[in-house]
C-alpha cells in the first residue's frame, strides 16, 4: 500500500468529521491518490490524524455514497473513475494570448471603490472593546432558538417549499409576520403588497437609487450622515444636497429637493431623534413641494430609548414616505435581511428590478426568519438584548 501523508491542523471550533472530509476531498481533487491503489485504511488514517476510527469510517462511507470513492470488499477504498484525473485549474493550461489585457479602468462606467467609505479594522469583532458603529454583540445571538427554527424548516414531514425558485415573490409567511408583528411596533399599518423583502436596508437604498434617481435629481441628506447611503445615491450621479442636523434632527433649507433621506429614529451618527415638530414640518414641506421622504429606520429594534416616537411613516397620509428597515440589525448583520414599505406601484417596480438582480432573497432564510418571528423567539431575544 502506498503511504500518503495527510495532515490536518484541527480547529476546535469545527467538527472532526467536517475537517477530515475536507482534507480528503482536497487530496482527491488534487490527484495525489493513484487510481489503481487503495487509499489509506480507516485505521491507518485514524492513527495518522490521531482521531477515532469511527470518525474516519464515517467520512469514507459518506464519500462512497456521494460518488467520490468505491468500496471493494477485503481490499479497501479506491477513487471513483470520475476522479482518476486531477481537477486541473484551466487557467494553468490555457494558451497564452499575446495581445494586451483589457484596460478595465477605461471601460468602467462607475468606480465604487474610489468612493469615500466606512472603514473598519480587520478582526475588529475580536477586540475587547470594539468601538464600531452600528454592530450588535453577536455573542448574544440566540443560537438555540435559531437552530430550533432551522429544525422546523428542515423537518422531513414538511413540504420543502423553500427549494423552488420563487421568481420575484417573497415568502408570504414572512410578509405577514412583518405586517402584523414588526410594523405595528413602529405605528405602521401596511398591506402585503406594500412590503418587499431585501438583502438588508442597503439593498433597498440601491433599488430606490436605480428606480428613482438621475443626474437631475436633488437628494437632501443629513450632514453629518450615513456615508454609504450617500455613496449609493451617487451611483446615479444624483445631486447631493447636505442639510445640517441640530438637536431636533434635519434642518430644512430654503430650496426644496426631490427626495429627503433621513434617519429620524436614531440619526446617523449623532444619535439625535427627530422631534415631533420637525417631523410634522418635514411631512408638510414634502407635501407642499411634491417631494418624497426616504426614512431609514435601520436600528428600530436596537434603539435603547425608553419611549421612542413612532416611525415617520406612521404619520404619512399621502404615501410620500418610503420606509426602509432591517430584520437582522439587532440579531445578526450577517443574515442580511431587510424590508421596504412603500406604495404598491413602487413596490411592484422594485420587485421587478430585484428579479433582474438576484430574483429574491434566499427562501430558506425567509422561512426560517418567519418561523423565528412567529414562535416569539425574536421578541425574547430583543427583551434580553435590551436588559
CATH number of the CATH domain containing 163: 3.40.640.10
Per-residue pLDDT at 92? 47
Residues 154 and 255 in one domain: yes
My answer on whether 51 and 176 are in the same domain is no
- pLDDT value at residue 35: 84
Question: For residue 97, what pLDDT is reported?
Answer: 58
Taking residue 177's Cβ as centre, other Cβ atoms within 10 Å add up to 21
Q: Which long-range contacts (CB under 8 A, 24 or more apart) does 248-254 make?
A: 248/272, 248/274, 248/275, 248/277, 248/278, 249/222, 249/273, 249/274, 249/275, 249/278, 249/279, 250/220, 250/222, 250/274, 250/278, 250/282, 252/281, 252/282, 252/285, 253/220
Task: Say if residues 285 and 253 touch (Cβ distance below 8 Å).
Answer: no
For residues 157 and 165, give the distance between their C-alpha atoms in angstroms, rounded to a whole number: 21
Cell numbers given for 87: 481537477
- Each residue's pLDDT, cut to its tens digit, for the chain (387 residues) gives 445 667 888 888 888 899 999 999 988 888 888 888 898 888 888 888 899 999 999 999 999 999 999 999 888 999 999 888 765 554 545 555 566 788 888 888 888 888 877 766 667 667 777 766 666 666 777 888 988 888 888 876 556 778 888 889 999 999 999 999 999 999 999 999 999 999 999 999 999 999 999 999 999 999 999 999 999 999 999 999 999 999 999 999 989 999 999 999 989 999 899 999 999 999 999 999 999 999 999 877 666 667 789 999 999 999 999 999 998 877 787 889 999 999 999 999 999 999 999 999 999 999 999 999 999 888 887 777 766
In a domain? residue 125: no
**CATH number, residue 45:** 1.10.10.10
**Does residue 106 fall inside a structural domain?**
no
Instruction: Give the number of C-alpha atoms closer than 13 A to the C-alpha of residue 240, restricted to the C-beta side.
Output: 20
Is 54 inside a domain boundary?
A: yes
Determine, yes or no, domain membership for 288.
yes
**Are residues 169 and 71 located together in one domain of the fold?**
no
Q: Are residues 366 and 261 in the same domain?
A: yes
Q: Are 145 and 377 in contact (CB under 8 A)?
A: yes
The verdict on 153 and 64 lying in the same domain is no
Residues 172, 307, single domain; the answer is: yes
359 phi-psi bin (left φ>0, alpha ψ -120 to 50, beta other): left
Per the omega criterion (within 30 degrees of 0), is the bond before 73 cis? no
Q: How far apart are CA 236 and CA 242, in angstroms?
A: 17
Other C-beta atoms lying within 10 Å of the C-beta of residue 102: 8
Look at residues 46, 43, 29, 4 and name the one whose alpha carbon lies nearest to residue 80: 29
In a domain, 137, yes or no: no
Q: Are residues 152 and 67 in the same domain?
A: no
Both 155 and 44 in a single domain?
no
Residue where one domain finishes, among candidates 46, 62, 83: 83
Helix (H, G, I), strand (E, B) or coil at 126: helix
Q: What is the pTM of this model?
A: 0.76
For residue 243, what pLDDT is reported?
97
Query: Are 305 and 188 within one domain?
Result: yes
The pLDDT assigned to 1 comes to: 45
Q: Provide the domain count of the chain.
A: 2
DSSP state of 267: -
CA 305 – CA 339 distance, rounded (Å): 22
**Final residue belonging to a domain, choices 54, 83, 112:** 83
Whether 8 is in a domain gets the answer no
Q: What would the grid cell of residue 113 be?
A: 471603490
For residue 153, count CB atoms less than 10 angstroms from its CB and return exposed for 0-12, middle for 13-18, buried for 19 or more: buried
Domain of residue 312 covers 143-386
Amino acid at each position: 500500500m502506498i503511504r500518503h501523508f495527510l495532515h490536518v491542523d484541527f480547529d476546535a471550533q469545527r467538527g472532526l468529521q467536517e475537517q477530515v472530509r475536507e482534507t480528503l476531498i482536497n487530496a482527491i481533487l488534487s490527484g495525489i491518490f493513484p487510481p489503481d491503489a487503495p487509499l489509506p485504511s480507516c485505521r491507518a488514517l485514524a492513527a495518522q490524524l490521531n482521531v477515532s476510527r469511527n470518525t474516519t469510517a464515517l467520512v469514507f462511507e459518506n464519500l462512497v455514497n456521494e460518488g467520490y470513492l468505491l468500496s471493494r470488499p477485503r481490499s479497501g477504498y479506491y477513487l471513483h473513475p470520475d476522479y482518476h484525473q486531477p481537477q486541473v485549474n484551466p487557467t494553468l493550461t490555457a494558451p497564452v494570448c499575446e495581445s494586451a489585457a483589457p484596460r478595465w479602468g477605461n471601460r468602467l462606467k462607475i468606480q465604487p471603490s474610489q468612493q469615500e467609505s466606512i472603514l473598519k479594522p480587520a478582526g475588529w469583532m475580536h477586540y475587547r472593546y470594539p468601538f464600531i458603529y452600528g454592530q450588535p454583540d453577536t455573542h448574544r445571538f440566540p443560537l438555540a432558538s435559531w437552530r430550533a427554527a432551522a429544525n422546523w424548516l428542515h423537518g422531513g414531514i414538511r413540504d420543502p417549499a423553500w427549494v423552488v425558485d420563487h421568481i420575484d415573490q417573497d415568502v408570504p409567511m414572512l410578509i405577514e409576520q412583518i405586517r402584523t408583528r414588526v410594523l405595528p411596533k413602529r405605528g405602521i399599518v401596511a398591506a402585503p403588497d406594500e412590503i418587499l423583502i431585501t438583502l438588508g436596508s442597503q439593498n433597498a437604498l440601491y433599488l430606490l437609487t436605480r428606480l428613482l434617481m438621475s443626474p437631475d435629481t436633488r437628494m437632501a441628506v443629513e450632514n453629518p450622515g450615513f456615508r454609504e447611503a450617500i455613496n449609493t445615491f451617487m451611483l446615479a450621479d444624483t445631486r447631493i444636497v447636505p442639510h445640517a442636523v441640530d438637536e431636533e434632527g434635519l434642518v430644512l433649507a430654503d430650496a426644496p429637493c426631490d427626495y429627503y433621506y433621513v434617519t429620524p429614529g436614531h440619526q446617523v451618527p449623532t444619535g439625535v431623534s427627530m422631534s415631533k415638530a420637525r417631523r410634522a414640518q418635514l411631512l408638510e414641506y414634502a407635501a407642499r413641494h411634491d417631494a418624497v421622504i426616504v426614512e431609514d429606520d435601520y436600528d428600530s429594534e436596537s434603539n435603547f430609548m425608553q419611549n421612542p416616537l413612532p416611525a415617520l411613516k406612521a404619520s404619512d397620509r399621502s404615501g410620500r414616505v418610503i420606509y426602509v428597515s432591517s430584520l437582522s440589525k439587532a440579531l445578526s448583520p450577517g443574515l442580511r435581511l431587510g424590508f421596504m414599505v412603500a406604495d404598491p406601484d413602487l413596490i411592484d417596480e422594485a420587485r421587478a428590478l430585484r428579479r433582474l438582480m438576484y430574483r429574491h432573497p434566499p427562501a430558506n432564510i425567509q422561512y426560517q426568519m418567519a418561523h423565528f418571528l412567529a414562535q416569539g423567539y425574536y421578541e425574547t431575544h430583543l427583551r434580553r438584548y435590551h436588559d
